[in-house]
Amino acid sequence: MSRQAHLIGSIGLENAETAMTKAAEILGPCCSRIPDGETGGRGYWIRWQQSTFDNCKDLQEGMVQEALPGFKDSVRRPFYKIKQGVNPSDIELGDLGYAKEALSSYQIFSRLVTEEKISSNVRFQVSIPTPMALVCGFIMAEDQLNVEPAIESAMIKDVDQIQAEIPPDHLAVQWDVCYEVVGSDGGPKLPYDKSIPGTVERLARLCGSIDDRVELVIHLCYGDPGHQHIVDPVDLGTSVKFANNICAASPRMINAVHMPVMRNRTDKAYFKPLKNLDIPNDTKLILGLVHFTDGVEGGKARMATADKFVDDYDIATECGFGRRDPDTILELLQIHRDLCS
């Protein structure tokens, strides 16, 4: 099979139908999984979940921050705490909305397949943040581990509903692993010690919640608030450690692992940790080396260095591109296609 392009999740076009249609039209046989583009209010990754916490009767706003260490944006971020007298085991978050959005978009996806605008062998991809993303993104530090079980339970409920209503051979699920990677590389602290083992234990549970017939992708991410990483990776060492350990711990096969490649890194030192990559032969490596700013030429330069350390990999951007200028997105998709040829 020729090199494939992987789409992380968000595609900043006007709606799901446009995002999926354009992705299929431009990428064609180079893309076997298509997400709905996380359009509209979902374009800023987890921020749309603020209403979940605003509406939770067991939580209250504890503080608001607009500037966070490493975050290069300026966004009002409320953080919540458990109301006095509430038992953490009784916290009920209600419907997170991931299943509702996925099932609505899947109806459009199915119609586009019927209309032959999307190939019948392409899977509908649902990209979902790990529960720890919501824990770190919305909960005050002292209550993070207390609220985590409620968030994980709500997330798994959504995942179960998605799998109950979308045929497994039509579905791909991607876990977005960001706060955990950043926290392991000098970014904002995680609420548990031993960041890699603690994360791997949690990811093993999440992977185990996905039916074996559903394709499963792990997206390792350094974030892009303000179009910059929360912390810059020194090299691919942390990503390789996560990939190796998550694949080893998962109770089911992981179909692909994605890791980011910075635009200014064509040096061997950045890619050298790939020599230590130890994932199953059936698990595809995806390198996030596609960047709009230097296009095909820059992508080829990063690929030339990657080729010195790994023989086979697919390509992607570092992160989703839902917050990009919409006028750049079709060209960015074409860059993916050109790099696959």
Per-residue pLDDT of the chain (341 residues; tens, 9 = 90+): 479 999 999 898 989 999 999 999 999 999 999 999 888 777 667 888 888 988 899 998 876 665 555 555 556 678 889 999 999 999 999 899 999 999 999 999 999 999 999 999 999 999 999 999 999 888 999 999 999 999 999 999 999 999 999 999 999 999 999 889 988 887 778 999 899 999 999 999 999 999 999 999 999 988 664 455 567 788 999 999 999 999 999 999 999 999 999 888 889 999 999 999 999 999 999 999 999 889 999 999 999 999 999 999 999 998 888 777 888 999 999 999 999 98
For residue 1, the model assigns a pLDDT of 47
Domain coordinates in residue numbering, the chain: 16-340
* Sequence-ordered list of residues with C-beta below 8 angstroms from that of 267, at least 6 positions apart, any chain: 305
What would be the CATH architecture of the domain defined by 16-340?
A: Alpha-Beta Barrel (3.20)
